Amino acid sequence: MNTVLVDVQLPGGQVATTHQVSNYPGFEKPQQGYMLSHFMSEQTRLCGTKYKVAVDVAKIDLVNKTVLIDDFETIKAKKIIIATGASPRPLGIAGEKEFKGNGISYCATCDAKYYDGKEVIVIGGGNSAVEEAEFITKFASKVTIIHQFAELTANKEAQEKLFANPKVSFLFESEPRVFEKIDGKMYVSYENLKTKKTEKIASDGIFVFIGMKPNIDLFADKLELDNWGYIKTNEDMQTNIDGIYAVGDVRSKKYRQITTAVADGTIAAIDISKKL
């Protein structure tokens, strides 16, 4: 099959920005995320995949199956797989971009083990923040949660588990304003929303869990989505539009990991090859 991979960045998505991946099958030692992405890219190049990367995707016509890149080249396809992934919701404060992947993480299962015996700050108070914070306590010696409301918004069972954990402390009704890195330590300047006073707290690392957002801006109005904005598919990864598939983190699903994304891609590719 004649296959083209189109990406607005270099291939790899969230994997490429993950510090290390320790649980991908076939690798005895942890792999740097960008290297795992590189290995995948090079492998598929050898299979004949053509790459159109670091391009501007100006327009996608899912019905007619055309992709316009750089307002210049139109690619016509028989089938399209959407694998645009999801992105952590950023806080949008000073220092966040600068220290992303270098002191600031958005994935506990990816990076918590690198804070064994260290102190960590978690931003957020919903289900993901509370569940990920509980996971981080398996490694970190201390976890401080900064949350904008007076109470956590996660489910009660998860909350009770966290409140009972002696490693965890809370800064309620507070919001981070600035991230800094000084002498290898990460600092959060946060505002107490009741007193309006700003204070600074030090840690070895910061985890931000204020939710994820699927990358669907180019075709959100064309596809059937779930309540959280993720693309609905059937078990063959087909969307509501004939010939359009969705795989990986952009798809409505229960678990989002590298292995489950790869599995989605396998299913879509097999279904496409049979139909073609």
Annotated catalytic residue within 110, 204, 249, 264: 110
C-alpha to C-alpha distance for 229 and 65, rounded to whole angstroms: 22
The pLDDT tens digits of the residues spanning 232-243 come to: 999 999 999 999
Looking at residue 19, its pLDDT comes to 67
Q: Has 61 been annotated as catalytic?
A: no
Query: How far is Cα 11 from Cα 5, in angstroms, rounded to an integer?
Result: 9
> Would you tell me the crossing angle of helices 156-163 and 127-136 to the nearest 10 degrees?
30
Global confidence as pTM: 0.72
β-strand pairing of 119-123 with 205-208? parallel
The catalytic position among 7, 61, 107, 271 is: 107
d(CA 232, CA 135): 29
Long-range contacts of 25-33 (CB under 8 A, 24+ apart): 25/259, 33/110
Pairing, β 50-53 against β 4-7: parallel
DSSP-assigned beta bridge partners for residue 82 = 246
**Residues 15-60: tens digit of each pLDDT:** 887 767 878 999 999 888 889 999 999 999 999 999 999 999 999 9
- Exactly one of 111, 204, 249, 264 is catalytic; name it: 111
Q: Catalytic site residue 47?
A: no
Token code pair at residue 202: 């030090």
55/5 Cα distance (integer angstroms):
11
Which pair of structure tokens corresponds to residue 214? Answer: 């699927």
Set out the domains of the chain in order of their start, with CATH numbers.
4-87+213-275 (3.50.50.60), 90-208 (3.50.50.60)
Q: How far apart are CA 168 and CA 132, in angstroms?
A: 12
pLDDT digits (tens, 9 = 90+) for 207-229: 999 988 899 998 878 899 999 99
